[in-house]
């Protein structure tokens, strides 16, 4: 794929400097970009001075506003008022995506009752169950399985090896990375009598009597519902609900290796980073951000616009708009003060020891 600098600037709604007729064949880091040739060249991503130091004269680049292309000997440049947003548009323009040939591969197994939208592309060894609906322009990679009565909206991109369970509902423009599982059973079990877990929750740790227990499965007969523009990372798992559906709101992006348990409700435009675990029946508001390795306890509510820093462990309700950190989670500014105090503990302990020695000597002198 190749576009001209002028076409790219127009598509990115960015300002062009220099020769707009030069063809752009791709993008790369400045150190990897050579001067343009007769067929054009790579576009250097040099959106701050520290990257621009590696630019070669005669090349083309994206620069931040205020940088001087003449100083680097460039022949053309595009200015980015918000560099990462321009990066999003640029990478979208050059992302060819996975190789999924148009049409239906002859090895795919598709139930006769499934409804496949126009211009769908279905790769090798895909299995699509009874009553499944795929929207127009859906692209399904190799070895994907979609179970009965699932409904996937238009323009979905399902990468190889994804498993989508029965009755899952997804909106338009769904993206699922390799190996994700949507709609597996929730992890829900019960004992005939009060279990040890229930006892310690009631007593806050005290055990009256320890006895043998047998776990009986609570089956998951709910589904999973995903809104529009949802993205699911590689090897992430989203469990189906027990009775009602597990729900992920429109625009939410979920990273790799995330676990979303049964009955969880996630709001719109949330950002959930790698290795997050959200326990059953918890509710997240809109625009919640959970950084890597955050843990969310079961049956709690996290309000709109909450941001949780990395490795935060959330055990209780969090009000809207709060920024939290730590284990257990507290306001970020409180956690920073706690960390400062912890770092001072060795010095405080040493001072206390010396004070005790001084007091002891004074007492001995009488």
In a domain, 232, yes or no: yes
Residue where one domain finishes, among candidates 62, 94, 126 = 94
pLDDT, residue 92, reads 79
Residue 137 sits in the same domain as residue 52 = no
> pTM for this structure?
0.86
The answer on pLDDT for 254 being more than 70 is yes
Q: Is 59 within the bounds of a domain?
A: yes
Domain boundary among 94, 119, 146: 94
* Proportion of the chain in helix, strand, coil states, percent, rounded to 5: 20, 30, 50
User: Omega into 7 within 30° of 0, i.e. cis?
Assistant: no
Same domain for 9 and 116, yes or no, is: no
CA dihedral 240, 153, 118, 133 (to 10 degrees): 30
Could you tell me if 132 and 268 lie in one domain? yes
More confident residue, 88 or 169: 169
**What's the mean pLDDT in 88-99?**
80
53-62, 84-93, 137-146: range with lowest mean pLDDT: 84-93
> Where in the sequence numbering do the catalytic residues fall?
262
Which of 15, 21, 32 lies closest to 67, judged by CA? 15
Number of domains in the chain: 2
| Domain residue limits at 146 | 104-330
């Amino acid at each position: 794929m190749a576009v001209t600098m002028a076409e790219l600037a127009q598509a990115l709604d960015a300002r062009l400097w220099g020769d707009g007729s030069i063809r752009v064949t791709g993008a790369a880091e400045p150190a990897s970009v050579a001067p343009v040739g007769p067929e054009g060249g790579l576009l250097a991503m040099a959106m701050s001075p520290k990257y621009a130091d590696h630019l070669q004269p005669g090349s083309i680049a994206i620069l931040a506003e205020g940088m001087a292309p003449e100083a680097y000997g460039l022949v053309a440049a595009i200015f980015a008022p918000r560099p990462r947003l321009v990066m999003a548009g640029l990478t979208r323009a050059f992302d060819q995506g996975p190789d999924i040939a148009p049409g239906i591969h002859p090895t795919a197994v598709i139930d006769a009752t499934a409804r496949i939208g126009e211009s769908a592309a279905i790769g090798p060894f895909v299995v699509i169950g009874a009553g499944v609906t795929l929207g127009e322009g859906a692209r399904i990679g190799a070895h994907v399985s979609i179970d009965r009565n699932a409904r996937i909206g238009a323009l979905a991109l399902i990468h190889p090896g994804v498993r989508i369970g029965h009755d899952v509902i997804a909106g338009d423009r769904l993206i699922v990375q390799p190996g994700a599982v949507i709609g597996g059973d929730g992890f829900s079990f019960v004992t005939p009598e009060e279990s040890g877990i229930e006892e310690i929750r009631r007593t806050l740790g005290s055990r009256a009597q320890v006895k043998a227990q047998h776990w009986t499965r609570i089956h998951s007969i709910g589904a999973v519902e995903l809104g529009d523009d949802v993205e699911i990372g590689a090897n992430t798992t989203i469990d189906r609900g027990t009775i009602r559906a597990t729900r992920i709101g429109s625009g939410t992006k979920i990273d790799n290796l995330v676990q979303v348990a049964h009955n969880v409700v996630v709001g719109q435009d949330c950002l959930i980073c790698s290795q997050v675990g959200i326990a059953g029946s918890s509710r997240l508001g809109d625009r919640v951000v959970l950084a890597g390795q955050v843990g969310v306890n079961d049956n709690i509510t996290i309000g709109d616009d909450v941001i949780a820093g990395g490795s935060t462990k959330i055990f209780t309700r969090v009000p809207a708009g709060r920024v939290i950190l730590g284990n257990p989670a507290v306001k970020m500014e409180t956690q920073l003060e706690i960390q400062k105090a912890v770092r001072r503990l060795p010095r405080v302990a040493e001072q206390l020891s010396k004070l005790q020695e001084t007091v002891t000597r004074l007492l001995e002198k009488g």
